[in-house]
Amino acid sequence: MASKVARKIAQSVLSKEQAEGAGARVRRSIGTRSLRNLDPFLMLDEFSVQAPAGFPDHPHRGFQTVTYMLEGEFWHEDFKGHKGRIGPGDLQWMSAGKGIMHSEIPATNNKAHGLQLWVNLSAKDKLSEPNYQEYPATNIKSISPEEGIDIKVIAGESYGVQSPVMTLTPTMYIDISLKKGKKVEQVIPKSFRGFVYTLSGTAMFGGDKHKAEAHHTLVLSDNGGTYLPVESLSDDCRFVVIAGEPINEPIIQYGPFVMNTEQEIYQAFADYEQGKNGFEGAPGWHSSIRDLWS
């Protein structure tokens, strides 16, 4: 018989606001000195951006960026003319693969608030073709197993509902809102490494009933546990559960390039500067949206 084991909370870290990009503010979860990375995750930022701040023209190679909007609107535009607008509840799952250069900036004067997750790619996928999966809020699968429990399935599965998002690196990403006293049990594959990031309210997480408030990263124990129990202590409880299959390869990161060796990082810089191997057209490219607020 398959045994059911609860994950515990191995570590809890509060994210304080810091400056990032051009005048943007982020609460960094994964990706700080105390939580360098949590294979396969490289970074999670809860961003809060008011125009003219933003993340203007910059490159990526070797990983995926997953942008999930909570409030406000963002424009994005890349060097191949892919351009769009994402608003509350919308998802953009981008695999940069061998190269993307793009701009991400607010589309209105309202605060743009959301989450951006960086998911690593394994060596075999690092130089793959860039790919976008875009889901407006209305197309994101949700489930309410009972009143007072609202779940959005960004990636993976919850309460029998499966997300259509394709994840090159096996990943689950679940957005859960609970009223006071409500309990959920989120199934997590045994081999996945993961964490919770809390957005609002208070709840008890894991088999050891670890109490946490907003803006905390709760690293899940690698105890082979099969699920995460959560009980809400407030009516405004909201958090995301993010977990994935560890890649177990060397990680060499230089800003927006994440490769397996230093040699590959030098190559990324050279390709970016010379417009080669996926960065064709990058030198001299400027987004049209970068002038919106200037």
58 is in an annotated binding site: yes
- Among positions 11, 13, 21, 227, the unique one binding ligand FJE when judged by CB under 6 A: 21
Does 108 contact ligand FJE by CB under 6 A? no
Query: What does the alpha-carbon distance between residue 221 and residue 229 come to, in Å, rounded to a whole number?
Result: 13
- Identify which of residues 116 and 221 has a Cβ nearer to ligand FJE in the complex: 116
216 is in an annotated binding site: no
- Identify which of residues 67 and 167 has a Cβ nearer to ligand FJE in the complex: 67
- Among positions 90, 104, 125, 271, the unique one binding ligand FJE when judged by CB under 6 A: 104
Does 175 contact ligand FJE by CB under 6 A? no
Tell me the closest approach of the beta carbon of residue 151 to ligand FJE, in angstroms: 24
Distance (Å) of CA 54 to CA 19, 82, 174: 11, 18, 26
Helical H segments across 1-43, by residue range: none
113 is in an annotated binding site: no
Residues 6+ apart with CB under 8 A from 266: none
Residue found under tokens 């982020």: 26
Structure tokens of 190? 């045994």
Does 62 contact ligand FJE by CB under 6 A? no
8 Å CB contact between 61 and 47: no
CA 65 from chain centre, in angstroms, equals 7
Neighbour-count burial of 292, counting CB atoms closer than 10 A to its CB (0-12 exposed, 13-18 middle, 19+ buried): middle
Tell me the closest approach of the beta carbon of residue 266 to ligand FJE, in angstroms: 18
- Among positions 15, 48, 67, 171, the unique one binding ligand FJE when judged by CB under 6 A: 67
Extract the annotated binding site for Fe cation.
58, 60, 102, 104
Can you say which residues are annotated as belonging to the binding site? Answer: 58, 60, 102, 104
Residues that bind ligand FJE (CB under 6 A): 20-21, 26, 45, 47, 55, 58, 67, 104, 116, 255-256
